[in-house]
């Protein structure tokens, strides 16, 4: 009988058990940890901006052409979109839960490329952003100045330059968002009355900006072929894109018949300010800017939280004087507590199982043998958790907790039968085990198959 192979080779059987435990122990650190499994369908977001357009213009010129191109992408379930009066367009493509989000984003990118020719030039110039919908935030922090010496504009740009990119490089971090962000931008304020007096419109100003605020390749002086006496070859650098408010104010809008020039400073003014003043953030009574960290799909939330916080603490050592940060919320606290409670319940279940076995078998040696099957079975389970792409969450741990009592059933049956044969006269343990297994092997296998069959319908759920 096949069980005699292991009865006669206890060292080989022990090594097999140890290999199962080792495989599970290796798989556990590489498994993602979350409070719940990833059940939400994957989403890909297509974002674009049509500067100066209202919601109706964005809908007709940007959103609808993109929707028509994206519609029907493989694995798509439905599309939702929004068009704003600030010129923004956002299309969310939701896919079937079995669809790989990386392949889905590539398919959406290909569809968007087909529609680029139908979009306004202003949208092409600013670009179309395609991102995988990130999971919930791992944690969020507020960055503020205790004495108020730094305004929101400075805080936002400091985070953008010195913090965001560094934290994106942390392993497992999906993206880093800045709340209340205010990017530096050159703002032009136009006086409608002055524009009307000179027969100008805002479109005239935009056209002048496009013509005069450009980077031009100026070429070289003395580049071959040249005269025989030419000794030098010099690269020419011309003033390209403007950087100072005074330079923008001197942009020429119109030339009169008498040679007079109308500049932007004649009809308005330029200033270096924020790109958007639509939101304001306060933290602990201070004007502040927030920073939020999301994780990559399948990343370990607890490891991402720990590594990202450590990186933020390291970066804070170089903050300007008076600049502070504080963690505003941390979603991994709930995850850690939930996992800890389930693990505690699992240990309680193992203890109760061993106690019940001892109460009925009345022998520590007989209790120890079935108890050994618990770590072998439970730790070895994580090999299949890894192979099947599951995560360590409250549901998988709860399932393992429920199965704690099931893994010792067969071991108890075998031990009891072996014990009976030893009492009845077969004193040699190997012979007793062989005879006992010949009697109960079919029942043990049948019992295991019945237990497995109970969970087959659940395993077939989509």
Question: Which is nearest to 292 in space by CA: 316, 315, 314, 312?
Answer: 312
Amino acid 420: pLDDT: 81
Q: Could you say which DSSP state residue 33 is in?
A: B
> Of all residues in the chain, what percent carry a pLDDT higher than 70?
97
CA distance to 98, 401, 405, per residue, from 341 (Å): 30, 12, 19
CB 276 within 8 A of CB 135: no
Res. 228 pLDDT band, cuts 50 70 90: confident
Domain range annotation of the chain: 2-36+335-459, 39-134, 185-222+234-274
- Give Dmax over CA atoms of the chain in angstroms: 126
Q: Which residue has the tokens 């330059």?
A: 161
User: How remote is the C-alpha of 196 from its chain's centroid?
Assistant: 51
Distance CA 88, CA 109 (A): 18
pLDDT over 60 at 202, yes or no:
yes
Coil/strand/helix, residue 9: coil
Distance CA 401, CA 395 (A): 10
CATH architecture type of domain 39-134: 2-Layer Sandwich (3.30)
Distance CA 191, CA 186 (A): 17
Distance CA 201, CA 194 (A): 10
> Of all residues in the chain, what percent carry a pLDDT higher than 90?
15
Which CATH number, 3.30.2090.10, 2.60.120.260, 1.10.357.10, 2.60.40.2550, labels domain 185-222+234-274? 3.30.2090.10
Distance CA 185, CA 69 (A): 33
CA distance to 23, 124, 275, 368, 394, per residue, from 120 (Å): 56, 7, 22, 75, 49
Please report which residue ranges of 116-259 form alpha helices under DSSP H.
121-126, 152-158, 164-168, 192-197, 202-212, 245-249
Tell me the CB-side half-sphere exposure of residue 129, using CA atoms within 13 A: 11
pLDDT over 80 at 229, yes or no:
no
Average pLDDT, the chain: 84
Res. 462 pLDDT band, cuts 50 70 90: low
pLDDT over 70 at 2, yes or no:
no
Encode burial over 304-342: b for 16+ CB neighbours within 10 A, e otherwise. bbebbbebbeeeeeebeeebebeebebbbeebbebbeeb
Amino acid 240: pLDDT: 76
Worst-scoring range by mean pLDDT, 28-42, 110-124, 393-407? 28-42
Give the pTM: 0.67
Assigned superfamily of 2-36+335-459: Multidrug efflux transporter AcrB transmembrane domain (1.20.1640.10)
CA atoms 103, 108, 109, 111: torsion sign? positive
Distance CA 307, CA 176 (A): 14
Distance CA 41, CA 412 (A): 44
pLDDT over 60 at 1, yes or no:
no
Amino acid 286: pLDDT: 83
Q: Could you say which DSSP state residue 163 is in?
A: I
Distance CA 130, CA 167 (A): 21
Amino acid 39: pLDDT: 66
Binning the chain into helix, strand and coil, the percentages to the nearest 5 are: 50, 20, 30
Span 233-247, mean pLDDT? 82
- Residue-wise pLDDT for 179-192, tens only, equals 888 888 888 999 99
- Residue-wise pLDDT for 259-304, tens only, equals 888 999 989 999 988 887 777 888 888 888 899 998 877 677 888 8
CB 234 within 8 A of CB 221: yes
CB 301 within 8 A of CB 32: yes
Question: Which is nearest to 135 in space by CA: 391, 340, 310?
Answer: 391
């Amino acid at each position: 009988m096949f069980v005699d192979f292991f009865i006669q080779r206890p060292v080989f059987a022990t090594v097999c058990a140890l290999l199962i435990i080792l495989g599970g122990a290796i798989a556990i650190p590489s498994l993602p940890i979350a409070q719940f499994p990833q059940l939400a369908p994957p989403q890909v977001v297509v974002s674009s901006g049509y500067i100066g357009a209202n919601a109706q213009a964005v809908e007709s010129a940007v959103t609808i052409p993109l929707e028509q191109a994206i519609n029907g992408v493989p694995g798509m379930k439905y599309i939702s979109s929004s068009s704003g009066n600030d010129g923004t367009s956002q299309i969310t493509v939701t896919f079937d839960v079995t669809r790989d989000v990386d392949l889905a984003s590539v398919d959406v990118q290909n569809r968007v490329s087909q529609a680029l020719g139908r979009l306004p030039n202003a949208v092409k110039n600013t670009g179309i952003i395609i991102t995988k919908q990130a999971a919930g935030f791992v944690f969020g922090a507020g960055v503020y100045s205790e004495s108020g010496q730094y305004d929101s504009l400075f805080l936002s740009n400091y985070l953008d330059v010195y913090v965001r990119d560094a934290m994106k490089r942390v392993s497992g971090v999906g993206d880093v968002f800045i709340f209340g962000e205010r990017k530096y931008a050159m703002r032009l304020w136009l006086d409608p009355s002055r524009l009307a007096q000179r027969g100008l419109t805002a479109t005239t100003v935009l056209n002048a900006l496009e013509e005069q605020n450009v980077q031009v390749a100026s070429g070289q002086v003395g580049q071959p072929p040249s005269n025989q006496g030419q000794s030098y070859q010099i690269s020419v650098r011309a003033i390209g894109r403007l950087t100072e408010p005074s330079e923008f104010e001197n942009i020429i809008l119109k030339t009169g018949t008498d040679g007079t020039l109308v500049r932007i400073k004649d009809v308005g003014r330029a200033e270096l300010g924020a790109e958007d003043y639509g939101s304001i953030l306060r933290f602990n009574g201070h004007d502040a800017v927030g920073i939020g960290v999301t994780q990559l799909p399948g990343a370990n939330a607890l490891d991402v939280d720990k590594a990202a916080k450590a990186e933020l603490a390291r970066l804070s050592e170089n903050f300007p004087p008076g600049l502070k940060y504080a963690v505003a919320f941390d979603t991994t606290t709930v995850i850690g507590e939930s996992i800890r409670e389930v693990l505690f319940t699992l240990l309680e279940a193992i203890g109760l199982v061993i106690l019940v076995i001892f109460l009925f078998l009345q022998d520590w040696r007989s209790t120890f043998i079935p108890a050994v099957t618990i770590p072998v079975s439970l730790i070895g389970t994580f090999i299949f958790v890894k192979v099947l792409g599951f995560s360590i969450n409250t549901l998988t741990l709860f399932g393992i907790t429920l199965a704690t009592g099931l893994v010792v059933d067969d071991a108890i049956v075998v031990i009891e039968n072996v014990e009976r044969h030893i009492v009845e006269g077969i004193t040699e343990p190997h012979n007793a085990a062989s005879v006992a297994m010949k009697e109960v092997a079919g029942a043990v296998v049948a019992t295991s198959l019945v237990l497995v069959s109970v969970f087959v319908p659940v395993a077939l759920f989509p």
